């Protein structure tokens, strides 16, 4: 859940609220059943087969399609790393720290984390910081936009506007995330969970999806009330401007602290999930040991690529490019890649699962319809938005 409410999501929601008020609130709530269907299938595949998506694709269709899936994941993960680093850079800039300094420290810190394999210890710290996102509910309440104002703004969805569609694609790409789906499947395998854990996994997945979208909706309401004043206004230009929503509703001191902790925690959790997903999928596709117990000298096939991605992400963020625009582009790219990942998951669910868990009958039709609708909205909104 915290990985889904990462820095990329917060930045995208802030821009959505600043530009369109509450107009993207309904889509973010409508995403809930689609997110559950996709994540439940990913979890079911991991629990039912004991294999990650990369391994299943390689064994069924060969190395070519598996490498294609890996490349798709690599693009999605690179965009995620850029988004997380943009959030960290913005958090540092709030205290006057130059972006290049924040990126140098971030790249060094991530390198140490990877070299030492200290994912779990860093994860605990990130989860603590990320828990400050619960303050988004307080922000939404303190903003006092009024139910009538929220309903009026939410009912106005200008689907004919290219700018609105572009942000819709970005919101979709930061909700149903390709790398998060593959992470959920591989994580089920890495934890050595099995068919007997399916009921608990479904409950946890549903709870996580609902909580995720309630958190994002609360922040969107707060952003719409404080940054957009419930209507269409000019776009945000810097990540630091997002802090206005926090300080306006929580006070200058508390708001600033919550902003830094929430943004930093979400970014760190997202970064850890991205690193884990890449590690597992690389191993699955290349048919090599992919446990995180291995150190760089034992897994140069993975750590070298990941290191290059981290450095490239840091350089891009420190280059002076607009971090808001860069993050939203990453979300739109995620949306564009979504049909590829969903297609792989669907056909694996039809072919690789045990008979009792296999997608079939009416539910298979429902999943196919949901995935086609998601893919269609992702491609259409992103393409039209980009062209206009």
Take residue 293 and report the two structure tokens written for it: 């117990």
Instruction: Write out pLDDT tens, residues 9-54.
Output: 999 999 999 999 999 999 999 999 999 999 999 999 999 999 999 9
Residue 50 burial class via C-beta count within 10 angstroms: exposed 0-12, middle 13-18, buried 19 and up = middle
- The single residue listed with the structure tokens 């990369």 is 54
Residue range 105-117: mean pLDDT, rounded: 80
CA dist 212 → 30, 137, 358 (Å): 13, 12, 27
Residue range 202-208: mean pLDDT, rounded: 93
Task: Look over the chain and give the mean of its residue pLDDT values, rounded to a whole number.
Answer: 87
CA dist 247 → 73, 86, 145, 165, 253 (Å): 37, 20, 16, 29, 7
For residue 293, the model assigns a pLDDT of 45
Q: Which of 262, 217, 229 is nearest to 243 (CA)?
A: 262
Per-residue pLDDT at 230 exceeds 50: no
Residue 231 burial class via C-beta count within 10 angstroms: exposed 0-12, middle 13-18, buried 19 and up = middle
Q: Which of 158, 106, 157 is nearest to 314 (CA)?
A: 106
3-class DSSP state of 330: helix
* Coarse DSSP helix, strand, coil percentages of the chain, rounded to the nearest 5 percent: 80, 0, 20
Per-residue pLDDT at 236 exceeds 80: yes
Range from 193-207, 216-230, 311-325, 333-347 carrying the lowest mean pLDDT: 216-230
Residue range 122-138: mean pLDDT, rounded: 78
- The single residue listed with the structure tokens 């149903």 is 176
pLDDT band at 128 (very low <50, low <70, confident <90, very high): confident
Per-residue pLDDT at 99 exceeds 60: yes
| pLDDT cut 70: percent of the chain above it | 94
pLDDT band at 112 (very low <50, low <70, confident <90, very high): confident
Rounded Cα–Cα distance for residues 348 and 188 (Å)? 16
Residue range 178-192: mean pLDDT, rounded: 87
Per-residue pLDDT at 127 exceeds 80: no
Per-residue pLDDT at 69 exceeds 60: yes
Residue range 299-309: mean pLDDT, rounded: 73
Residue range 359-382: mean pLDDT, rounded: 95
The secondary structure of 214-230, three-state, reads HHHHHHHHHHHHHCCCC
Contact 42, 361 (CB under 8 A): no
317 or 118, greater pLDDT: 317
Total length of the chain: 388
- The single residue listed with the structure tokens 């996580």 is 208
pLDDT band at 249 (very low <50, low <70, confident <90, very high): confident
70 or 136, greater pLDDT: 70
The secondary structure of 180-198, three-state, reads HHHHHHHHHHHCCCCHHHH
Nearest-5° angle of CA 101, CA 91, CA 273?
Answer: 95
b/e map 88-116, b = 16+ CB within 10 Å: bbbbbbbeeeebbebbeebbeebbebbee
Per-residue pLDDT at 274 exceeds 80: yes
pLDDT band at 115 (very low <50, low <70, confident <90, very high): confident
pLDDT band at 290 (very low <50, low <70, confident <90, very high): low
Per-residue pLDDT at 114 exceeds 50: yes
pLDDT band at 231 (very low <50, low <70, confident <90, very high): very low
CA dist 244 → 88, 172, 229 (Å): 17, 25, 12
pLDDT band at 60 (very low <50, low <70, confident <90, very high): very high
Whether the model pTM is above 0.85: yes
For residue 301, the model assigns a pLDDT of 62
């Amino acid at each position: 859940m915290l990985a889904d409410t990462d820095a990329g999501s917060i930045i995208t929601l802030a821009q959505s609220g600043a530009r369109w008020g509450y107009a993207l609130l309904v889509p973010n709530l409508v995403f809930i059943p689609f997110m559950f269907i996709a994540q439940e299938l990913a979890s079911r595949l991991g629990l039912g087969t004991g294999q990650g998506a990369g391994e299943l694709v390689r064994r069924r269709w060969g190395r070519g399609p598996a490498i294609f899936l890996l490349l798709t994941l690599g693009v999605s993960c690179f965009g995620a790393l850029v988004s997380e680093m943009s959030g960290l850079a913005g958090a540092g800039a709030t205290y006057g720290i130059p972006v290049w300094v924040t990126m140098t420290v971030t790249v060094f810190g991530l390198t140490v984390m990877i070299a030492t394999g200290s994912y779990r210890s860093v994860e605990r710290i990130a989860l603590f910081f990320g828990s400050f996102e619960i303050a988004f509910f307080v922000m939404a309440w303190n903003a006092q936009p009024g139910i009538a104002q929220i309903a009026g703004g939410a009912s106005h969805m200008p689907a004919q506007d290219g700018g609105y569609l572009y942000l819709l694609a970005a919101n979709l790409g930061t909700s149903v995330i390709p790398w998060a789906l593959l992470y959920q499947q591989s994580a089920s395998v890495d934890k050595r969970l099995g068919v007997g854990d399916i009921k608990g996994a479904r409950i946890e997945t549903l709870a996580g999806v609902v909580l995720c979208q309630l958190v994002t909706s609360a922040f969107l309401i707060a952003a719409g009330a404080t940054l957009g004043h419930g209507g269409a206004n000019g776009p945000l230009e810097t990540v630091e401007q997002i802090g206005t929503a926090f300080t306006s509703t929580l006070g200058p001191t508390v708001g600033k602290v919550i902003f830094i902790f929430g943004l930093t925690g979400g970014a760190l959790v997202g970064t850890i999930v991205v690193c884990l997903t890449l590690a597992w999928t690389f191993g699955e596709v290349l048919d090599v040991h992919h446990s995180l117990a291995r150190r760089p000298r034992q897994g140069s096939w993975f750590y070298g690529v990941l290191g290059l991605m981290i450095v490239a992400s840091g350089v891009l963020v420190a280059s002076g490019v607009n971090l808001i625009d860069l993050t939203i582009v990453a979300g739109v790219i995620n949306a564009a890649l979504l049909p590829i990942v969903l297609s792989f998951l669907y056909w694996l669910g039809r072919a690789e699962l045990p008979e009792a868990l296999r997608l079939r009958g009416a539910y298979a039709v429902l999943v196919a319809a949901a995935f086609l609708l998601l893919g269609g909205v992702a491609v259409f909104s992103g393409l039209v938005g980009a062209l206009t």
